[in-house]
Structure 1
Amino acid sequence: MHVAANIQYHQVKPLELQPLPVLILSSVALLVIGVVMISSASMDMAAATLGNSYHYVIRQVIFAALGCLAALIAVNVPTSWWERSGWLLLGIGLAVLVLVLTPLGRTVNGSTRWIPMGLFNVQVSEVAKLCVIAYLAGYVVRRRDALLNSWSGFIRPLIVLGLAVGLLMIEPDFGASVVLTVAAAGVIFLSGVRLTRFLPLIGLMAFLGTVLVVSAPYRLKRVVSYLDPWKDQFDSGYQLTQSLIAFGRGEWTGVGLGNSVQKLFFLPEAHTDFIFAIIAEEFGLLGALIVLALFTALVVSGLVIARRAEKNDMPFGACFSYGVTLLIGLQAVINMCVCTGLLPTKGLTLPLVSYGGSSLMITCIGLGVLARVEMERLDKEKMASELPARKTRGGAVYE
């Protein structure tokens, strides 16, 4: 009897998918691919414009090291801190969005999105996205009943989201606005809000999106050129056609690392927004599919972490994990769709792969948060599994 009881408490669990190793391995693989591809895509341009072939590579290695350090710090920050600091984080997010619109902001190609910080520039939209998602994750947990049962509870977080998106549009940063809006809506929807509540919001967003596109000539031009980029391939359709040429040159297995022609001043932003096209040119369809598979593994592991946190009564960790995963996944999908001509051209980087310190470091912090949520869930599960065995120590059954 004692043996049977002991076996009951120590049953072997079936093998389960462990999302944490998958998350770490896919993230590290993408980070390494990014450094390698930035060295390939930027060296010729850096030598011609800056006189130093390794300018972007050295900076990206530094950003990667700082990003890993930021991820380690985030792993050691309890999720309860993020939950308690929701208002503080929202204030920081909105403050940097306002600050960039002052003379401190730096304008590049007609958009004021950066604040110079000496050796590097901070892209405020990256900071704001994470801060707003952290606040919304806390809101849907604190105000769950009002969120699910009243229109006022549903509209309040949308007002905060609208304020952040409005500031982003003033910069303007249409791509970041779309990513933040969809990720925030995803967090609210996954918290249990009925789909019917979203129908008016979807209609409103579609209307406002159409107005924004039509009201800005450069956005309308991008949409028109996206529909037929070859019609004006040397003007409005130039970036997309050059990106498609890179995909065509790559064929199945690519032309080889370092042998890209499109990076030689044909494809603008080859080491940032269009690095996926250079990957496809140098490593072909096979290389592009490997990158796609790594992002799929990263996003799926993030969603699994969020779902398991939800099942283990960790509502804030679940909502925050959903939001972080959606931010990374949406940005990756939009970037790859832009490079392949499935979406109009947008200034969004490929997370962990494209050149840029702000995006890389914030992404690493988000990955650290996901790892922390999973570690807390495992600790909670371990404590719950040990509880029956501890109870038997005072009775007739011993280990």
Structure 2
Amino acid sequence: MKWSEWQRRWSTEHHVIDGWLLLSAISLMTIGWIMVTSASTEVATSLTGNAYYYSIRHGIFVLMAAVCGFVVMRVPMVWWRRNGPTLLLIAAILLAAVLVVGREVNGSRRWISLGPINLQTSEVAKLFMVVYLSGYIERHLVRVRTTWWGFLAPLFLTFGLGALLILEPDYGATVVLLSTAMGVLLLAGASLWRFMLLSGGVVVLGAFMAVAEPYRMQRITSFLDPWANQYGTGYQLTQALIAFGRGGWEGLGLGNSVQKLFYLPEAHTDFVFSVLAEELGMAGAVGVVILFGILISRAFVVGRTAETSGRLFSAYVCYGIGLVFAAQSFVNIAVNIGFLPTKGLTLPLLSYGGSSLIVSGAMVGLLLRVDGETRARRRIAADVSKRNRREVKKAEQGGQA
């Protein structure tokens, strides 16, 4: 093989990694492992006798997420585009299967037991829905932008997945799924007035569902005034707010949280951000928010670069992943600070949970793959342009001679 041919293949198959994207993802996973270790020692000792039980499991999940991300980086985007409908069907089957064979925890069926790992099907559904929706938009972009049916057709499928999530029930994942789908359609150029009209209908439907069941109304009323029933419906939120109050600006120091000592439920999963704020203070909490901001912004930058290069499917995948990270992190942090009613939703890349961490790793891998393919295409285009200019210059010189 000639040196020029080898160099061309190397530049096509390997690429410079987006440093900010990778740094923010690795930083969040590292901070998450540290905080899960700190927040879970007392609970792990009580339940298993091993203070580092959850830390060890989370460390294994971190490694699995890294491996998954690396594997996804090696899969061409054309494979994802071609298999989008199949992946959506798999997501629907998993969401239906969990209602039948899923493991029930605290009144919800969200996990399918696979030996030592519990698969949370909603996490897989988010990724597969984004892949399918991106392919649909690329194929029917004009219809999405100009007709009601082109706009509503993918949303009907998304609403179907949302209905299965509600049956689990998992309202937090439903909100993330629907908001991501509508956000991607809006970024694809769907009519703003159609978007606003449908958003209004979704809000009305959500309000009706909220008041339809007494326990949902209790969650809302406890969210509005958690101190009115701080030992009942408002217990989780009041304990989370106490954690923020204890932490102050500088925090109590790593490992010194008081709220994790059986005061704050789910301290290493849904409310790990509260423990982080208590131990690392406002500075640590703001630092994590900044890292999420970097991760999400780089997802949109990678997507925009792909879109300007004519790679629409890859662009919409990046937009969808960015919206999933944005919606899920916003909901989790908002719940921790009392801005939204309590929802069982993990903090991506940071909370304890194998399914969430592995799928988040796959999403980061997809972003890096899109970035790599876009850079490679631009390098090839630049090389072709340079070669053409050289040939034109040689021809001009030959003509002058």
TM-score by length of 2: 0.93
1:305 aligned to which of 298, 302, 307 = 302
The residue number in structure 2 matching 1:36 is 34
Deviation string, structure 1 residues 57-115 (Cα, Å, up to 9, x no partner)? 0100100000000000111111111111111111111000000011x111100110000
* Mapped contact 1:74–1:368 kept (Cα < 8 A): yes
The residue number in structure 1 matching 2:13 is none
The residue number in structure 2 matching 1:58 is 56
Matches within 5 A, 1:220-231: 220-231=217-228
1:99 aligned to which of 94, 97, 102 = 97
1:197 aligned to which of 176, 179, 194 = 194
The residue number in structure 2 matching 1:144 is 141
Deviation string, structure 1 residues 269-322 (Cα, Å, up to 9, x no partner)? 000000000000001001101111111111111111111111111100000100
1:369 aligned to which of 366, 370, 388 = 366
CA separation in 2, counterparts of 1:19 and 1:205? 39
Matches within 5 A, 1:63-74: 63-74=61-72
The residue number in structure 1 matching 2:351 is 354
The residue number in structure 2 matching 1:86 is 84
Deviation string, structure 1 residues 1-25 (Cα, Å, up to 9, x no partner)? xxxxxxxxxxxxxxxxx98110100
* Mapped contact 1:114–1:124 kept (Cα < 8 A): yes
1:394 aligned to which of 370, 391, 394 = 391
Per the alignment, in what secondary structure is the counterpart of residue 158 of structure 1? helix
* Mapped contact 1:99–1:105 kept (Cα < 8 A): yes
The yes-or-no answer on 1:287 pairing with 2:275 is no
Between the two proteins, the alignment pairs up a number of residues equal to: 380
* Mapped contact 2:223–2:234 kept (Cα < 8 A): yes
* Bigger mean CA deviation after superposition, 218-227 or 240-249: 218-227
The residue number in structure 1 matching 2:110 is 113
Structure 1 gap segments, 5+ residues each: 1-17
The residue number in structure 2 matching 1:48 is 46
CA separation in 2, counterparts of 1:320 and 1:292? 23
The yes-or-no answer on 1:325 pairing with 2:319 is no
CA separation in 2, counterparts of 1:198 and 1:52? 51
The residue number in structure 2 matching 1:212 is 209
CA separation in 2, counterparts of 1:22 and 1:249? 32
* Mapped contact 1:19–1:302 kept (Cα < 8 A): no
* Mapped contact 1:19–1:304 kept (Cα < 8 A): no
Q: What is the Cα-based RMSD across aligned positions, in Å?
A: 1.2
CA separation in 1, counterparts of 2:212 and 2:264? 28
1:334 aligned to which of 313, 331, 340 = 331
* Mapped contact 1:115–1:122 kept (Cα < 8 A): yes
The amino acid across from 2:361 in the alignment is C
The residue number in structure 2 matching 1:25 is 23
* Mapped contact 1:139–1:157 kept (Cα < 8 A): yes
Per the alignment, in what secondary structure is the counterpart of residue 99 of structure 2? coil
The amino acid across from 1:37 in the alignment is M
Shift of 1:396: 3.1
Structure 2 gap segments, 5+ residues each: 1-15, 396-401
Shift of 1:397: 4.4
The residue number in structure 2 matching 1:12 is none
* Mapped contact 2:146–2:191 kept (Cα < 8 A): no
2:130 aligned to which of 129, 133, 158 = 133
CA separation in 2, counterparts of 1:397 and 1:196? 56
Shift of 1:395: 3.7
Deviation string, structure 1 residues 155-178 (Cα, Å, up to 9, x no partner)? 111110110000000000000000
CA separation in 1, counterparts of 2:138 and 2:52? 47
The amino acid across from 1:326 in the alignment is L
After the TM superposition, which segments of 4 or more aligned residues of structure 1 sit over 6 Å from their partners? Answer: none
TM-score by length of 1: 0.94
The yes-or-no answer on 1:166 pairing with 2:176 is no
